[in-house]
């Protein structure tokens, strides 16, 4: 198999740790008051979920690309 560079533990957990901090900050900020704190709490929690959206959007586009590639390969074979 290909030998890709290995991540250190810090590299593996850099994004997850940032997301966890954003989540916890959002949860606590909302508890400490109303008004702008609630707004900041919603934003932090929504931002912490964005990677899922991003990953699934990427997935869709790559699935699309793969489907197209498969299709053109099929065309080449049949022609």
Does residue number 68 form part of the binding site for another protein (CB under 8 A)? Answer: no
CB atoms within 10 A of CB 60: 10
Cα 7 to Cα 3, 19, 21, 55, distances in angstroms: 12, 18, 21, 19
Give CA 72 to chain center in angstroms: 30
Report how many residues bind another protein under the rule CB under 8 A: 41
Pair of tokens at residue 72: 């053109």
Closest CB to another protein among residues 35, 79: 35
Does residue number 74 form part of the binding site for another protein (CB under 8 A)? Answer: no
Does residue number 49 form part of the binding site for another protein (CB under 8 A)? Answer: yes
Contact footprint for another protein (CB under 8 A): 1, 4-10, 12-16, 19-21, 23-24, 27, 30-34, 38, 41-42, 45-46, 48-49, 51-52, 54-56, 58-59, 62-63, 66
């Amino acid at each position: 198999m290909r030998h890709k560079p290995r991540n250190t533990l810090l590299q593996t957990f850099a994004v997850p740790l940032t997301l966890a901090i954003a989540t916890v900050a959002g949860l606590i900020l909302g508890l400490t008051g109303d008004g702008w704190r609630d707004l900041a709490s919603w934003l932090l929690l929504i931002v912490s979920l964005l990677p899922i959206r991003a990953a699934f959007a990427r997935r869709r586009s790559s699935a699309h690309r793969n489907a197209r590639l498969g299709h053109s390969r099929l065309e080449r074979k049949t022609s």
